[in-house]
Chains A and B, each alone.
Chain A
């Protein structure tokens, strides 16, 4: 199990629009496929991704079976203050991953 990969600019000007990129390792098994011996492969996907900026939720995404393996989610936000961005992925079979990145706003 690898760490998620986060790309957040280390510094930004107040009010600047910043791009945040996230990549996580996950099989995203859709639950519709059969194995080579005909057994249905149970669904195993990430169902939810949340980003919080200093505790305040700024982005949320629900993920579905049609999303590819190793989902890459990128979005924009406005840099308002220096602080920590917390990213949380939750999914089937108790999957949960959290990663943090800090940003300095001047």
Chain B
């Protein structure tokens, strides 16, 4: 739920960016997730756990969760049953990490846990194991509302908004021009979604693989012929944080299937 204070600060932010923002922000009541906008067959594939290919990663993630790392500690040894301890966690990421004094996303949190608590080597971004753990953790938040209300995240969200609204790349387009101003219309054969990250990591049929939100963002940047952020870059985390803030209150449906 959005507090009145946040709403006011959000209006103030909008006014502050009036010169930058071309169109208008999507009203809360008109927000639709990628799930809402996809076809019946793809929805059916996501809804049935035995047909949703992301389940393969969730099950692998569950195995890793319970497997002891090199120093003899598993995720479960500290966090116990993920069904309780990880419920709603993915809905709150990216989050502010006080010791590092910066925002980190879920994959980075998993890797920090691995290197600091398990004395294990961090998993490479987009590796099968990291995606499996992220999918397993995200699965525990299914149906939970997305939250992004830590005041320390506000500067990160603001810089994410600037990236979202700023034009970039050879095509000189901003994210907002597609996802705020022209959602619901066609881009070639595909419907332009509103870009709410409710289902990450997603099994994207085009990829025939599971992928993170950062991978998806790189896809969009590539489409703009802009320079892609390296995986784990602060810009990517800021964009993630802004998108989660923009989707605040919407229910998680991870791990999703997307066309």
Name A residues whose Cβ lies closer than 8 Å to a Cβ of B. Answer: 2-3, 5-7, 21, 23-25, 28, 68-70, 72, 74
Q: Are B51 and A23 in contact (CB under 8 A)?
A: yes
Q: Are B208 and A25 in contact (CB under 8 A)?
A: no
Taking a contact as CB atoms under 8 Å apart, the answer to whether A2 and B56 are in contact is: yes
Query: Which residue from B51, B60, B205, B209 sits with its C-beta under 8 Å from A2?
Result: B60
Residues 29 to 85 of chain B near chain A (Cβ within 8 Å): 48, 50-51, 53, 55-57, 59-60, 63
Residue ranges of B at the interface with A (Cβ–Cβ < 8 Å): 48, 50-51, 53, 55-57, 59-60, 63, 205, 208-209
Residues of chain B lying within 8 A (CB to CB) of residue A74: 51
Nearest-Cβ distance from residue B58 to partner chain A, whole angstroms: 9
Q: Which residue of A lies closest to B53 (CB)?
A: A70
Q: Which among A3, A7, A68, A69 is the interface contact of B59 at CB below 8 angstroms? A: A3
- Would A72 and B59 count as touching, CB distance under 8 A? no
With the chains together, A49 CA to B164 CA distance in Å? Answer: 46
Apart from A23-B51, A23-B55, A25-B56, 17 more pairs, CB < 8 Å: A2-B60, A2-B63, A3-B59, A5-B50, A5-B56, A6-B50, A7-B50, A21-B48, A21-B51, A23-B50, A24-B56, A28-B208, A68-B208, A69-B208, A70-B56, A72-B53, A74-B51
Q: Within the complex, what minimum Cβ distance (angstroms) separates B211 from chain A?
A: 13
CB-CB nearest in chain B for A22: B50
**Given that A69-B209, A70-B208 are known contacts, is A21 also in contact with B50, CB under 8 Å in the complex?**
yes
Chain B residue at minimal CB-CB distance from A3? B59
**B56/A23 in contact, CB under 8 A:** yes
Q: Give bound CA distance, A70 to B208, whole Å.
A: 8
Q: Which residues of B contact A5 (CB under 8 A)?
A: 50, 55-56, 59
A69 / chain B contacts, CB cutoff of 8 Å: 208-209
Q: How far is the CA of A74 from the CA of B59 in the complex (A)?
A: 20
Contact B53 A2 (CB under 8 A): no
Q: Which single residue of chain A is at the shortest CB-CB distance from B61?
A: A2
Q: B15: shortest Cβ distance to chain A, in Å?
A: 46
Give the residue name and chain of the A residue nearest to B132 (CB). A2
Given contacts A69-B208, A69-B209, contact A23 B53 (CB under 8 A): yes
Q: List 22 A-B contacts (CB under 8 A).
A: A2-B59, A2-B63, A3-B59, A5-B50, A5-B55, A5-B56, A7-B50, A7-B51, A21-B48, A21-B50, A21-B51, A23-B51, A23-B55, A25-B53, A28-B208, A68-B205, A68-B208, A69-B209, A70-B53, A72-B51, A72-B53, A74-B51
Pairs of residues from A and B, 6 with the lowest C-beta to C-beta distance, nearest first: A7-B50, A69-B208, A25-B56, A70-B53, A2-B60, A2-B56
